A and B are shown apart, each in its own frame.
Chain A
């Protein structure tokens, strides 16, 4: 039930800035907070951003989130090799009464 759309892939060289978009609708992103999760290869997902732009303790400030209307984005600045992972956005959907995840974006560090 992926109603949030993300680009399948993104890439950059070390030190560059990478941005991942997440497109939804008025019933999810448009009316609720957006969350971002990082999933390193072979591991469980980890909370990266909550309430659109807040970082849990321990998450580097290289990661930042924003939201505008029915879209959101995650930016990774100063890209590092350990940032190679899959990234998912998520939100509650008021119409469906379910949590919805984005389709996921694989970030590659060239």
Chain B
């Protein structure tokens, strides 16, 4: 059974930093591209970033480019999101998602809540 478990969400002040983690199990982690998707309270889904199976390719939404860094450790079946220079508008539930054989997000975690507030 595929499982994705996010962690690391907390309350942080504007300008602060945070690292989110996603522990994956139930599939061959290093075969798949992985993504982060976020959802602000009461709002829609916003794609954040992706990383290829080997970490060689990364892409970011314009809203986080230059502030967030996606990475992975295939030896630990883990995905990460380093978030710097946090803004109030980064407040959201952050989901880790596995890419399928196309570019669909075929499995999602339950999310970890990041609140940026003074």
Identify the A interface with B (CB < 8 A): 1-2, 33, 35, 37, 39, 44-47, 50-51, 56, 86, 88, 90, 92, 96-104
Using A35-B104, A47-B106 as known contacts, say yes or no to A97 and B45 having CB atoms under 8 A apart.
Answer: no
- Check B61 against A88 for contact (C-beta < 8 Å): no
- B interface bracket (residues with beta carbon within 8 Å of A): 20 to 34
The reply to whether A50 and B111 form a contact with Cβ atoms under 8 Å apart is no
B44 near A2 (CB under 8 angstroms)? Answer: yes
State which of B11-19, B23-31, B95-103 sits at the interface with chain A.
Answer: B95-103
Say whether B104 contacts A44, CB under 8 Å. Answer: no
Known: A2-B44, A104-B44. A50 touches B102 (CB 8 A): yes
* CB < 8 Å A-B pair total: 65
Q: How far is the CB of B27 from chain A (nearest CB, A)?
A: 15
For chain A, what secondary structure do more than half of its interface residues adopt (helix, strand, loop), or is it mixed?
strand
B108 adjacent to A101 (CB under 8 Å): no
Contacts of A104 in B (CB 8 A): 44-45
Contact B50 A99 (CB under 8 A): yes
| CB-defined contacts of A99 to chain B, threshold 8 Å | 35, 47, 50, 103
Residue contact A98 to B105, C-beta cutoff 8 Å: no
Given contacts A1-B62, A44-B95, A98-B62, contact A37 B106 (CB under 8 A): no
